[in-house]
Amino acid sequence: MLKELSPDLIRRRLTSLFPGELIEDIARERDVVQRHRRIDVTALVWTLILGFAVGGESRTIAGFQRAYAAATNQTLSRSSFYDRFTPALGQLLSDLLEHALEEVAVPHTLAPQLQQFRDVMIADATVFRLHRLLSEFPATHPDQSGAKLHLVHNLTKQTIERFELTDERSHESSQFRTGNWLRGRLLLFDLGFYSYRRFALIEENGGFFLSRLKTNANPRITEARRKWRGRAISLPDRRLQDVLGGLTREIIDVTAEVSFKRRPYGEKHSSATIEFRVVGVRNEDTDDYHLYITNLPDEFTPEQVAALYGVRWEVEVLFRELKSMYGLEKFQTSNPAIVELLVVAALLTLTVSRALLGVFQRMHPETMFPRERWAKTFRSFAQLILEDLAQSFGHPPPNLAELMFCNARQPEKSRLLLSERVAEAFRTEVRA
């Protein structure tokens, strides 16, 4: 099996994802490079992407500088390297991420019934702490700063469809835009996105949705979608909350009517009603129902609806990978432009990891690659991948002795070591 894996497999996939010419062209367009530059912008981009995967101190700018030096055998002054972290570099990374999201797709193993949808997608958001002096990112608590990353995760292609970075106070649903891009797609929501108007717009745009039903929701039942034998409780024309306590059946499958306000037009704010499917599956442990609202057709049984909602856990795994594997919560900077740059770098790291995973899955579809195990493996080999790429760009192998000397020596002669400061104090006392 391993004989199919050529030594340059990883390098070929990564350079095809981000060809050097593409990086150079965007860098010139965004004014990232200078005419007499000392920094290889292609190697810098890959240092940011793979440096995130390495972890720990490597996610600081000083850590990225050391990773760049180790890969290119090129020592730079601290100021020369720091000066490259500009909004223009952040825009370059954003352009590359937009390009990559169109290119990366991992083979999926979704149920055959889901193939009728263009994509199955999950909308969610996560919060991470920032330097407390970053007033541009106000948090929900005073004297703190926090950012919120809004994502639409494409479960079918195992990639990120859309993303937005805001301050922590921004509500997650404020960044979700409806439109014709929803046609043929199934969206899975948590309660943070709960809105009958949003659900209606998804249906009007030819899309599908699935969400938990709010605990206080009380829609009017218009039709029972399943017949029950015997003296079953009649549900039509009754409110859901009025009948829940008296039901003993294992599932609920009804059509229910909900009301909502349309977006204001001029000074008018019209009301509307629409019918959706409400599904309930009894939880044996708590002896109550897990309730869902959706416009999925009847071919999806209530049990399948509940199981399908369970795949929302995929986005939680993605957030956990971003935070625990790629350090999304460990930005030690008070510069808002660098925060945004590093968030995009983290998303690029995740995307590159997925791209390589796709290669191995396509070559060996019979082999299982657990997501977190893959992430740990990718992180372990990231620095080696970076050095291999740098050598393919024409950089010599690292001179370890020179690199260790340059990184370990005192950076400025004006800075005295503790022992030297003590000795200087005694010399001053003697002279006095």
Task: For residue 119, give the 3-state DSSP assignment.
Answer: strand
Residue written as tokens 């991948």?
385
pLDDT attached to residue 296: 95
d(CA 230, CA 105): 51
161 Cβ contact partners less than 8 Å away, ≥ 6 residues apart: 101, 119, 121, 152, 153, 154
d(CA 137, CA 147): 6
The answer to whether the CB of 188 falls within 8 A of the CB of 210 is yes
Q: In degrees rounded to 5, what are phi and psi of residue 370? A: -55, 135
The answer to whether the CB of 45 falls within 8 A of the CB of 92 is yes
d(CA 319, CA 325): 10
Successive 10-residue mean pLDDT values, the chain, 432 residues: 71 92 92 73 93 70 87 83 90 92 63 81 90 84 88 86 90 90 94 94 96 94 78 81 86 93 74 93 85 94 92 86 78 82 90 88 87 88 92 85 73 56 59 55
Q: What's the number of CA atoms in the CB half-sphere (13 Å) around residue 32?
A: 27
The answer to whether the CB of 252 falls within 8 A of the CB of 291 is yes
Residue written as tokens 């720990």?
56
> Do β-strands 220-224 and 251-261 pair in parallel, antiparallel, or remain unpaired?
antiparallel
Q: In degrees rounded to 5, what are phi and psi of residue 281? A: -125, 125
d(CA 145, CA 357): 34
The answer to whether the CB of 153 falls within 8 A of the CB of 122 is yes
**For the chain, how big is the Rg over CA atoms in Å?**
27
pLDDT attached to residue 431: 56
* Cα 141–Cα 142–Cα 146 angle in degrees, nearest 5: 60
pLDDT attached to residue 56: 56
Q: What's the number of CA atoms in the CB half-sphere (13 Å) around residue 385?
A: 26
